[in-house]
Structure 1
Amino acid sequence: GIQTLVKLQEHVPDIPIIVLTGLSDEAMAVEAVRQGAQDYLVKSQIDGRSLARAVRYAIERFRTLEALRESQERYALVARATNDGLWDWDLSTDQVYYSPRWCAMVGTTEEEIQPTPDEWFQRIHPEDRPAVEQALYEHLGRHRPDFEVEYRMRHQEGGYRWMRSRGLALFDANGHPYRIAGSQTDITQRKRVEARLLHDAHHDPLTGLPNRTYFHQQLEQALARRGNGTDAPFAVLFMDMDRFKLVNDSLGHLVGDELLRAFAIRLRNTTPPGSLLARLGGDEFALLLPAISTPEEAVQSAQRILQAMKHPFHVAGQDFYATCSIGITLSSPAYARPEEMLRDADNAMYRAKTLGPGGYQIFDAAMHTRALTLWQLERDLRQALQRGEFRIYFQPIVALESGKLGGFETLVRWKHPQRGLLYPKDFLQVAEEAGILALLDRWMIRQAAHYARRWNRCYANGSPIFFSVNLSDALIREPDFTRFVRAVQAETDLDPRSLKFEITETVIMKDMTTILQALAELRRQNFQLCIDDFGTGYSSLGSLHLYPADTLKIDRSFVQRLCEDNNSQELVRTITTLARDLEMDVVAEGIENLEQARFLHSLGCKYGQGVYFASAIDAHQCDTLLRQKPTWAVKP
């Protein structure tokens, strides 16, 4: 019987077999079932109904076993094919099945690993294991719907790899877990990408330093700790490179970027351990000193930085001296938000910059008041043009030989609704920083052209009365500047000889090629050009012929020292002589008395301007003056 059973199974393995025999042998029955028989029946003990029932049961049992076998084969196939490692933990026996892929993830094989939970948990990083155990405890206790956690696992070859494990538990009728199974995914590469993205989000790509976002977060945490009384006082240093814009404008952004990198490296080598250095943007940097005992520690850090910047930077084959200005704020209960502390450090830095490059200032309440005033001033400035609050004033320029009026310098005043009449020193720098200086210059040119046309038609006798207008680099570097001037001339039907544009050497040097081209175009249109504050800028007398100008204006500083300083006398004499050789006129500004006027006349200066003749006057007063046809006594 048993041999026949074995042969049948070899030929028809997919058909269930029942052994029907006349022998009632229990040992044979057990062996038959072990060899694959679905049942063992003794003929004398069964009838037709029993046989039919045995056949049905045999068929159902065979199908059930076949389905189980196929399911096990599918599970084994998936376990081998999937990139995830599979695990199956029998909680009743505390035995764990680890798939071959799971084993490979930690650098082992099925033969090298024991089916125990320790093989898993002992490999988890000590810092991550409490979180894994907590997630498992909460799921098995039905406090969370599934088990899912990320952690680091030690690899057999050393080091750790990031894993993500997910699983579900089975519970019995009493709600007790008896089995939990799931998968494990290697997410090391994803974690590396996330770390890189997080680093990039918090760091400046040019210098590699932390950026404004990260600095803001760390400063916010420092303020919170300080507010809770759990941390020592701290300080913020706000640093801005001096004259960096000049490097960018003259040598280009590539050189500027290289200088910024070198500057950042030197800062990093100067800052104390435990501090946080960040690039906020542009040429602005910030330093967080997390724990200081006294304000002097912050001052000492600023002094070390300034001392380090005294040495040149070797960039693009050249040596650059790049100083910086530093503003310091100290932690205080008054600060609730990071931006408040940065704002005050920024204000202190600007205060340091106004006192000269390469310095530092500690913020105080007076700076805050001053900053609020400037902010209010900028806001008012933006509305002043629309409201018609600016006024044009005129200061006479006198021909020293005849004492007669030669022209005027046009000057701007601001009739502020609350603060009264403001002078250029009170608002021009703010206008430049606010980006509205060019608009103000355009308004001045239109006003000057209007009055020049009107008064020349009414009062000129022979040569035209000229009106000088000061030019800023903000306007002259705009692409449509010369077209704008031509348009104003056409609108007013103005004789171009009656409009004289004044520009300083300092402005010319900011973009020499562009500005000289614009000035040359104005000269071709017969407008007059004057080099203002001559002798105080970058150029020498030898480069005077490069400027397409017809007038030089000697700075008031030389005029004020004229009568007692031989050097000033010689400089003025040299300027007037050279100007005469180049067929240029000379105007001396800042004349305060008759002695200065006569001395300048004796040196060959053609025109004079200053309070000795007249202060700046408004349009109504100027009209009255022109009607009077005044003459000033100059010659003995």
Structure 2
Amino acid sequence: MNPDHARRPRLLVVDDEADNREFFAETGDLAGYAVASLGDVRELESALQPAPDVILLDLIMPHLDGIEVIRELARAGCRSRLILVSGCERRVLQAALRLAQGFGLDVLGELQKPVSVAALTALLLQPGMPPARVQPLQPVTLDELHAALAENRFTVHYQPQVALHDGRWCGVEGLVRWCHPQHGLLLPDSFVPLVERGGLGLELTRCVLECALADLAHLHGLLPGGRLPGLSVNLPGEALFDVSLPEQLLALVDAAAWQHDAITFEITETSLAREPVRALDILTRLRLKGVQLSIDDFGTGYSSFGQLHHLPFSELKIDLGFVRVADRDPVARAIVENSIRLGRQLGLTVVAEGVESATLWHWLREQGCDLAQGYLVSRPMPAEQLPAWYAAWGVPACPA
């Protein structure tokens, strides 16, 4: 085998039509992939050894349809990235994409047949990163997690949030990382489910908040007016069971001499469902003390509007799954447009996650969205890299 070929990331094309397989294979080869093709989905299990980096899956196949295949991939713990293609109507294709994501599969996107070279290449070469082999989640134990918390082995990376109307830097979202002695730097997917099962969410939140407040203290004076950047931190569902939460968290904020209104806690809709009255108690007291509250992943749940009506949110954060595709998906575009309109009517700050192109940036600005967060602005980074990012940051030019 050609050694250079062996180093290329692997693409598996699964389509029962020979012409399609040939087209997808040629496009993948030009994008830098080593390509294997499969016409009979019943042979998929053997084709997954070793696991390819990307699987391109046609949803309409004889013997097993794409939904059945998605279910089997999830059951097998497949870590390959997935591209879904089909000639069926787009809403069915997008429903299949959401199902795959719901099963925990890593979905790059969906393409409606006939597929163009440009559209497929754009998915195979995601913005800001070359095709790369997906690293498997590293196995960690609850004992390791307890030790990591006791030994302060967690660190925080920061993704900037900027104002869409002028590009002004407004704040950062703090995203936890685990500095594991054997596995290196672990992303949240590797350990957050274990944190939740072990009931350690509140302890991890305190750790993240304390670390972030200390990290960002040296940035004092970097923003106009000598302000510290706003800091957003995720608040786990289990935190909303403890009515002493406001005092616990604000003691850390006060000790670091931060303003309360510079702190935003992000809450997902699902975390509010278990103890709604107690959550209302805790969140209202946080707002009374000046802390900002954001409803995260807005639009993905079934009762987002009810939560906006009952709870004192100050920010609405539109889920990146809608924002990323709003420039090419009419349904996602309508959801984003109406979310922005709703947020403005309610007097909320509206944040768009997943802003990855200049086209999206300028469209969101035209819609009246307040803040942008995403790879176009920056990937998450350690605190010490923020000043250099800030010095280089500029509003993206409007596409021709």
TM-score by length of 2: 0.62
Kindly indicate whether residue 230 of structure 2 is the aligned counterpart of residue 460 of structure 1. Answer: no
The two structures, once aligned, show a CA RMSD in angstroms of 2.4
Matches of residues 288-303 of structure 1 in structure 2 within 5 Å? none
Kindly indicate whether residue 156 of structure 2 is the aligned counterpart of residue 388 of structure 1. Answer: no
Q: Distance in 2 between matches of 1:397 and 1:389?
A: 26
Any conservation in 1 of the 2:158–2:175 contact (CA below 8 Å)? yes
- State the partner residue of 1:633: 396
Cα deviation digits, residues 558-611 of structure 1 (max 9, x gap):
012201222222221111111111111110101111111111111111111111
Residue 632 of structure 1 deviates from its aligned partner by 2.6
Could you list the runs of 5+ residues in structure 1 that have no partner in the other structure?
Answer: 1-326, 328-353, 357-369
Residue 629 of structure 1 deviates from its aligned partner by 7.0
Any conservation in 1 of the 2:154–2:208 contact (CA below 8 Å)? no
Matches of residues 203-242 of structure 1 in structure 2 within 5 Å? none
| SS of corresponding position for 1:510 | coil
Aligned equivalent of 2:210, options 421, 446, 451: 446
Q: Distance in 2 between matches of 1:451 and 1:458?
A: 14
Q: Distance in 2 between matches of 1:355 and 1:635?
A: 37
Q: Distance in 2 between matches of 1:530 and 1:512?
A: 16
Any conservation in 1 of the 2:240–2:275 contact (CA below 8 Å)? no
- State the partner residue of 2:241: 477
Aligned equivalent of 2:278, options 514, 517, 535: 514
Residue 612 of structure 1 deviates from its aligned partner by 1.1
Residue 508 of structure 1 deviates from its aligned partner by 1.2
Residue 621 of structure 1 deviates from its aligned partner by 0.9
Any conservation in 1 of the 2:243–2:281 contact (CA below 8 Å)? no
Aligned equivalent of 1:566, options 319, 326, 330: 330
Give the aligned residue type for 1:535: G
Give the aligned residue type for 1:559: V
- State the partner residue of 2:300: 536
- State the partner residue of 2:181: 417
- State the partner residue of 1:596: 360
Give the aligned residue type for 1:409: E
Residue 426 of structure 1 deviates from its aligned partner by 0.8
Could you list the runs of 5+ residues in structure 2 that have no partner in the other structure?
Answer: 1-74, 76-101, 105-135
Give the aligned residue type for 2:395: W
Aligned equivalent of 2:339, options 575, 584, 598: 575
Q: How many residue pairs align between the two structures? A: 267
Q: Distance in 1 between matches of 2:212 and 2:373?
A: 18
Q: Distance in 2 between matches of 1:634 and 1:449?
A: 33
- State the partner residue of 2:320: 556
TM-score by length of 1: 0.40
Aligned equivalent of 2:251, options 487, 512, 517: 487
Q: Distance in 2 between matches of 1:580 and 1:492?
A: 32
Percent identity between matched residues is 33
Q: Distance in 2 between matches of 1:629 and 1:500?
A: 26
| SS of corresponding position for 2:393 | coil
Q: Distance in 1 between matches of 2:313 and 2:229?
A: 18
- State the partner residue of 1:339: none
Any conservation in 1 of the 2:221–2:228 contact (CA below 8 Å)? no
Give the aligned residue type for 2:279: I
Distance 1:629 1:480, change over 3 A: farther
Matches of residues 1-20 of structure 1 in structure 2 within 5 Å? none
User: Which stretches of structure 1, 4 residues or longer, exceed 6 Å deviation after superposition?
Assistant: none
Matches of residues 424-443 of structure 1 in structure 2 within 5 Å? 424-443=188-207
Any conservation in 2 of the 1:392–1:412 contact (CA below 8 Å)? yes
Q: Distance in 1 between matches of 2:398 and 2:269?
A: 32
Q: Distance in 1 between matches of 2:316 and 2:229?
A: 17
Residue 488 of structure 1 deviates from its aligned partner by 1.4
Q: Distance in 1 between matches of 2:245 and 2:159?
A: 25
